[in-house]
Amino acid sequence: MRFGESLETKRWFVLLTVCLVYIASAIGYLTFNSTSVPSKQYFHTDDDNRILYFTDVSLYINLVFSYLGCWFAYKYFRLSVITCALFTAVAAWIRYFAGADYIIVLLCQALLGIMSTTLFGFANVVPDRWFATSERFAVNTLSGF
């Protein structure tokens, strides 16, 4: 049976799962940014560049590895969703328990960036693989939000 010939009964659960991975990745990305006064106070620094590294590390990793992330999401969708969810949670908890240890938090931010490289692939795979043509607009809209 080819993709698109029949509808998966659990397709809305798949969409919910992927959306939760999107949300976790977005929270991990937005936690620290260059304009965040609380982040500067938390790390006891006035240097904007040190805080800007948190944003930059995620963006550069996505720029370099997004093609591989999309390929991995297409070839191994289930494994990539589980892996991304697991390692995003692990990185977030390590960041939490690391407190104000800048290097550990920055390394966890890099791990969050690596785990978010598959998100672009999910955006393509989920509507095409599990949803009918008439539902794809709604699926893309929901996952975008």
Q: CA dist 110 to 20, 40, 59, Å? A: 20, 19, 9
Closest CA to 125 of 71, 61, 68: 71
Q: Three-state DSSP class for 100?
A: coil
Give per-residue pLDDT as tens, 14-71. 888 888 888 888 887 777 665 577 777 788 888 877 888 877 887 888 888 888 998 9
pTM: 0.75
